[in-house]
């Protein structure tokens, strides 16, 4: 999860409405409690033996009160954003670990849960797309003075008819003779030399080429009378010839692709075939950059994934004790993500699995294990308490990964929930997760309270409902996840105003208020943790 993830990642509007109806029934039947949530006296880490963590930001280095809470109440931390691909990978593919290193120094003595190695969001997607060839860079313009804005600078007149001087080659500034800009080339050939196109010739300046590579030469041309003819040829040696092009009185673009035979090439306009007046503008010479095949893209992304995972896991080996290796691989209906079922419009999105297929996850786990065999490795997702199809697909996929030899130590359930999230769904989720025999970790817990109501702040009743849900989550975790499988619980943020859900004071999903005081929801966590 991240600071700029939208509410749609929690639940759709229709589903949220359904949950609200269900919760109204719970209130009427007394299932929800507004009981005594006042005891906040103990540090969470002091009442349990498993990891209790919190997501942290660079406030660890700038806000002493914030840092004090983190070190007092928790023994693990997750970096909310500073270990993500977009925070470290630069536009040229190099790594800048400065912010992550600074935060790592600020949490000395605490264990770190690494977030995140493989995710479709918050990538330096621009770099990845360029590196893999998904985005083809614009080819460099190789023509000199292609629009004739500097007259005939860079152009050479080779032949002007028989006898020499019969034809004229000039730069024209007459608006009706120009396609774009303020100038064009004008060639007046009063005599046709059938089969001797070279009799009227204008050459470009030389441009660099690489033998065997293809280059496209294009230009716009029109004649002042019907029946014009033009062709291109190459120089200065080993000439190649384009077929004769019929030219009418309207502007038309002519293109010709050559395979370079020299390290420096010119091209020539051959205009001797038919008598006419020719106007030429907007010339272009560019290398043909072919799109790579799907296999080539997959291989380049595999290279980038391996390099990224190896670099960050190796750097923090021994400090990061567990990793989110794969995050949010599945859609709500249980499909593995691709470009068709994922919003790919944000500039930071790159869906690895669209190009690398199912083995993307397998490779990520293998790269992580190779870099740090001692670290625990997790697959993590959201809405598992709401979408049974997603949950079932994830569990089945973990079985597939393990059958292929992957080291998958645990499953993370984010649990971005609300006070009125359906409790039966939470129970079903923990029951299924506990049955896997793997470690189960609540990775990103927050509990929305206001839910876009008219209230400017959570009422005492809503805070009590939030506390009750916190208690229920922990108690249900205990009920279905055996002690040996409890990977831990992480809260997704410290104080409300720094939550990704805060929305300028319209939501209060965390366990400390903006005055750094423990809320009733903190008491709910304590009650749940002490219930075991």
Identified catalytic residue from 80, 376, 385, 444: 444
pLDDT of residue 136: 87
> Which of 394, 400, 428 lies closest to 412 in space, CA to CA?
394
Give the per-residue pLDDT at 513: 96
**Element at 234 (helix H, strand E):** strand 228-235
Which 3-state string (H, E, C) describes 441-467? Answer: EEEEEEEECCCCCCCCCCCHHHHHHHH
How far is residue 488's CA from residue 467's CA, in Å, rounded to a whole number? Answer: 19
d(CA 107, CA 60): 8
Distances from the Cα of 354 to the Cα of 112, 115, 294, angstroms: 30, 21, 10
Euclidean distance between CA atoms 374 and 318, whole angstroms: 8
Q: What is the pTM of this model?
A: 0.81
The span from the CA of 461 to the CA of 420, in Å, is: 13
Contact 251, 184 (CB under 8 A): no
CA 37 to chain CA mean position, Å? 42
The helix (H) or strand (E) run that includes residue 393 is: helix 388-403
Domains in the chain with CATH codes: 1-75+415-532 (no CATH), 81-99+114-136+291-377+387-396 (3.20.20.80), 156-287 (2.60.120.260)
The pLDDT assigned to 17 comes to 37
> Which among 281, 278, 275, 280 has a CA at the least distance from the CA of 166?
275
pLDDT the model gives residue 14? 34
Could you tell me how many helices (H) and strands (E) the chain has, helices first? 13, 20
Task: Look up residue 109 and give its DSSP letter.
Answer: T
Render 291-304 in DSSP notation, one character per residue: PPPHHHHHHHHHHH
328 is an active site residue: yes
Supply the pLDDT for residue 451: 86
pLDDT tens for the 532 residues of the chain, in order: 554 443 344 443 333 333 333 333 333 333 455 678 999 999 999 999 999 999 999 999 999 999 999 999 999 999 999 999 999 999 999 999 999 999 999 999 999 999 999 999 999 999 999 999 999 888 999 999 999 999 999 999 999 999 999 999 999 999 999 999 999 999 999 999 999 999 999 999 999 999 999 999 999 999 999 999 999 999 999 899 999 999 999 999 999 999 999 999 999 999 999 999 999 999 999 999 888 999 999 999 999 999 999 999 999 999 999 999 999 999 999 999 999 999 999 999 999 999 999 999 999 999 999 999 999 999 999 999 999 999 999 999 999 999 999 999 999 999 999 999 999 999 999 999 999 999 999 999 999 998 876 667 788 999 999 999 999 999 999 999 999 999 999 999 999 999 999 999 999 999 999 999 999 999 999 999 999 8
| pLDDT given at position 455 | 64
CB atoms within 10 A of CB 377: 25
Q: For the chain, what's the residue count? A: 532
Of the residues 80, 328, 376, 385, only one is catalytic, namely 328
Cα–Cα distance between 419 and 23 in angstroms, integer? Answer: 9
Instruction: Select from 506, 502, 418 the least CA-distant residue to 458.
Output: 506
Q: Which tokens go with 397?
A: 């996929």
pLDDT of residue 290: 84
Local structure of 355: helix, strand or coil: helix
């Amino acid at each position: 999860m991240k600071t700029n993830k939208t509410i749609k990642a929690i639940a759709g509007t229709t589903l949220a409405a359904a949950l609200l109806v269900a919760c109204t029934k719970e209130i009427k039947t007394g299932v929800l409690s507004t009981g005594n949530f006042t005891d906040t006296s103990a540090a969470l880490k002091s009442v349990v033996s498993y990891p209790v963590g919190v997501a942290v930001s660079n406030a660890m280095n700038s806000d002493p009160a914030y840092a004090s809470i983190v070190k007092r109440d928790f023994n693990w931390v997750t970096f909310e954003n500073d270990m993500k691909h977009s925070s470290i990978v630069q536009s040229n593919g190099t790594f800048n670990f400065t912010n992550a290193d600074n935060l790592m120094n600020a949490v000395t003595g605490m264990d770190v849960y690494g977030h995140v190695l493989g995710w479709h969001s918050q990538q330096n997607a621009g770099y990845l797309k360029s590196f893999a060839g998904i985005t083809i860079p614009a080819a460099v313009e190789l023509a000199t003075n292609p629009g004739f804005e500097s007259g005939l600078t860079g152009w050479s007149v080779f032949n002007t008819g028989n006898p020499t001087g019969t034809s004229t080659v000039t730069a024209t500034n007459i608006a009706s003779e120009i396609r774009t800009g303020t100038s064009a080339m004008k060639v007046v050939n009063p005599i046709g030399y059938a089969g001797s196109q070279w009799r009227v010739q204008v050459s470009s300046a030389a441009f660099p080429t690489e033998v065997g590579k293809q280059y496209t030469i294009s230009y716009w041309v029109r004649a002042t009378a019907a029946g014009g003819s033009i062709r291109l040829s190459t120089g200065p040696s080993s000439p190649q010839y384009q077929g004769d092009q019929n030219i009418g009185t309207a502007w038309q673009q002519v293109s010709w692709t050559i395979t370079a035979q020299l390290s420096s090439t010119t091209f020539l306009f051959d205009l001797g075939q038919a008598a006419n007046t020719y106007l030429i503008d907007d010339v272009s010479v560019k290398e043909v950059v072919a799109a790579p095949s799907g296999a080539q893209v997959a291989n380049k992304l595999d290279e980038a994934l391996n390099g990224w995972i190896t670099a960050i896991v190796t750097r923090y080996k021994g400090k990061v004790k567990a990793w989110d290796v794969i995050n949010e691989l599945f859609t709500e209906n249980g499909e593995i993500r691709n470009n068709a079922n994922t919003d790919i419009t944000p500039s930071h999105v790159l869906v690895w699995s669209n190009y690398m297929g199912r083995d993307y996850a397998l490779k990520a786990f293998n790269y992580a294990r190779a870099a740090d065999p001692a670290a625990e490795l997790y697959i993590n997702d959201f809405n598992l308490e709401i979408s049974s199809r997603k949950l079932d697909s994830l569990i089945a996929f973990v079985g597939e990964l393990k059958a292929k030899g992957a080291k998958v130590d645990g499953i993370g359930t984010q649990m971005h929930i609300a006070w009125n999230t359906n409790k039966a769904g939470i129970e079903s989720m923990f029951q299924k997760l506990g049955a896997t025999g793997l470690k189960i970790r609540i990775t990103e817990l927050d509990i929305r309270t206001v839910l876009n109501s008219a209230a400017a702040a959570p009422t005492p009743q809503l805070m009590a409902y939030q506390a009750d849900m916190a208690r229920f989550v922990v108690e249900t975790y205990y009920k279905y996840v055996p002690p040996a499988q409890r990977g831990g619980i992480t809260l997704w943020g410290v104080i409300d105003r720094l939550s990704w859900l805060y929305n300028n004071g319209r939501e209060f999903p965390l366990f400390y208020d903006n005055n750094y005081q423990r809320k009733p929801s903190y008491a709910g966590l304590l009650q749940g943790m002490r219930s075991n």
